[in-house]
Amino acid sequence: MEKYKCSSVGIVGSGIQGVCTGLQLIKKGIPVTIFDKHDPLSENFKPASYGNAGHFSPYAVLKFNRPDILKDVPKMLFSSYGPLAIKWNYIFKLVPWLTNYIKNCNSRSMLHTAKYMNQICRSADQSYEEIFKEIDTTNLVDKKGIIYVWSNKNLKSRKLEIKVRNDLGINQKILSQKEILDLEPNLKPIFDGGILYENCMFARDPHAILKKIFRLFLNKGGKFIQDNIISLKQTDENKAILNSEKERYSFEKIVVAAGAYSKKLTDQLGENIPLDTERGYHVHFKGMNKLISRPVICLDRGFGLSPMNQGLRAVGTVELGGLKNPPSKKRIDYIVKSAREFLPQLKEHHDEWLGFRPSLPDFLPILGPSLKNKNIIYAFGHDHLGWTLGAVTGKIICGIVAEEKTNLDLSAYSSKRFN
Ligand SMILES: Cc1cc2nc3c(=O)[nH]c(=O)nc-3n(C[C@H](O)[C@H](O)[C@H](O)COP(=O)(O)OP(=O)(O)OC[C@H]3O[C@@H](n4cnc5c(N)ncnc54)[C@H](O)[C@@H]3O)c2cc1C
């Protein structure tokens, strides 16, 4: 029997999901055009896929829909100087996400999320390694592992996380303070212990890697159009259209990979998906990237340090506040102060950046066709793990577009769960 072939695909978004999906489709011989408001090769391109912490973290399957975390949320929200913050002018708009989050905050949902995150995380690195065979990643990807530390002896999440990961067969090595200092001697010993995820990869410049994957896509015949897509529609069995302010583009299928902005498009399709954003920040300490050899994350402060080519990147925290609020100076101050506590050698910082994690309240991405328009396929909502899951998402979405069989159970990623 002849394989199904799609005649053309338009992808909205050239973040890591869009670019990896485009690459897989073009490799299959399916004509693809990627759209983005910003050219990924330009300096103006600064979405989440540009400024993240660079962890390839397939072990991070346990998310925030945990009953133990829920109890701490109100306290954290009322402190403006902690890992979680809120823009109070956004509280009413946050209601759909928040109510769904509370509904999903129980042991059953937590384990459901962990199981289905693990299903895709298991082949996340392998999927990237296949791409890395085709691009030069010298000085861009390191494999020295990733360390998590905790500075609160009674950090209760520790035991639960370790157990769930053990149950799922995830490799983790518990470290004492001394063992961490043996690996990272410049850290100030203000932590109690930690975990090393050995042999994990990290990106020394996520944007540079994305650009290489994007160039590979173009070299294989993929097209890119810089345009802001304002609407989309499936018009008949074999046709779906994208509209910008000036142009109308027609394809057989469309992939929505617009990260945290995807809701603007999915709302038009009559689906009420509670996508929102968990805002995160970074700054760089230029010339200080040699102070540590691998990313170090402080679990109880919700921030981390990543040695990037641009400098030491202090990155993280979660702020609930939508896409339009301006950046918060207090968030930056919190990250800078925390970074200096771990590495007192740090002085001036540069490049304050705010990015938007595409967040769904059960912390699973949406991967699959729109409920009412089967030619429009969703690939968004990867939240804290979107960098890790870019390459595997590309493969999954390509398989959905080409209507191929898969051994994966994709039902858990459908938008049906919110409708
Ligand atoms: C502070 C921070 C740290 C993080 N650290 C990590 C980490 O260490 N590891 C990890 O795995 N993940 C991490 N993440 C999460 C990860 O970065 C994101 O989940 C991921 O980059 C999302 O990729 P994306 O392609 O879905 O969206 P994005 O990267 O946001 O890309 C979406 C693109 O769509 C374009 N777009 C949107 N709407 C339109 C439109 N209407 N028309 C045209 N173009 C449009 C945008 O311009 C953008 O380029 C972090 C995120 C943040 C904020």
Report CA(344)–ligand 1 centroid distance (Å): 31
Q: What is the mean pLDDT of residues 277-305?
A: 96
Is-contact 316 297, C-beta < 8 A?
yes
Domain shared by 27 and 43, yes or no: yes
**pLDDT reported for residue 159:** 83
Going by alpha carbons, the residue nearest to atom 31 of ligand 1 is 15
**229 has a pLDDT exceeding 90:** yes
Domain shared by 69 and 197, yes or no: yes
Domain shared by 263 and 291, yes or no: no
Q: What is the mean pLDDT of residues 325-343?
A: 97
Report CA(363)–ligand 1 centroid distance (Å): 15
Q: What is the pLDDT of residues 244-285, one digit of tens each?
A: 999 999 999 999 999 999 999 999 999 999 999 999 999 999
Q: What is the pLDDT of residues 180-226, one digit of tens each?
A: 999 999 999 999 999 999 989 999 999 999 999 999 999 999 999 99
Q: Which residue type does 4 have?
A: Y
Q: Is residue 281 part of a domain?
A: yes
Domain shared by 322 and 288, yes or no: yes
Query: How many angstroms separate the Cα of 25 from the Cα of each of 98, 217, 374, 396?
Result: 36, 9, 17, 11
Mutate-to-test residue for ligand 1 from 11, 20, 37, highest number of ligand atoms within 8 A of CB: 37
**pLDDT reported for residue 67:** 80
Residue 193 β-bridge partners? 150, 176
Domain shared by 177 and 266, yes or no: no
**155 has a pLDDT exceeding 90:** no
* Ligand 1 atom nearest 382 alpha carbon: 19
Domain shared by 145 and 102, yes or no: yes
Going by alpha carbons, the residue nearest to atom 50 of ligand 1 is 52
CA-CA distance, 333 to 328, in Å (whole number)? 9
Where among 325, 343, 359 does a domain terminate? 359
Domain shared by 239 and 375, yes or no: yes
Q: Is residue 57 part of a domain?
A: no
Q: Is residue 347 part of a domain?
A: yes
Find the CATH number of the domain harbouring 324. 3.30.9.10
pTM of the predicted structure, to 2 decimals: 0.97
Going by alpha carbons, the residue nearest to atom 18 of ligand 1 is 386
Q: Which residue type does 391 have?
A: A
**pLDDT reported for residue 156:** 66
Find the CATH number of the domain harbouring 391. 3.50.50.60
Q: Which residues form the domain of 294?
A: 62-111+139-201+275-359
Q: What is the pLDDT of residues 38-96, one digit of tens each?
A: 999 999 999 999 999 999 999 999 888 888 777 777 777 777 678 999 999 999 999 99
**pLDDT reported for residue 157:** 65
Is-contact 54 308, C-beta < 8 A?
yes
CA-CA distance, 159 to 144, in Å (whole number)? 24
The count of structural domains within the chain is 2
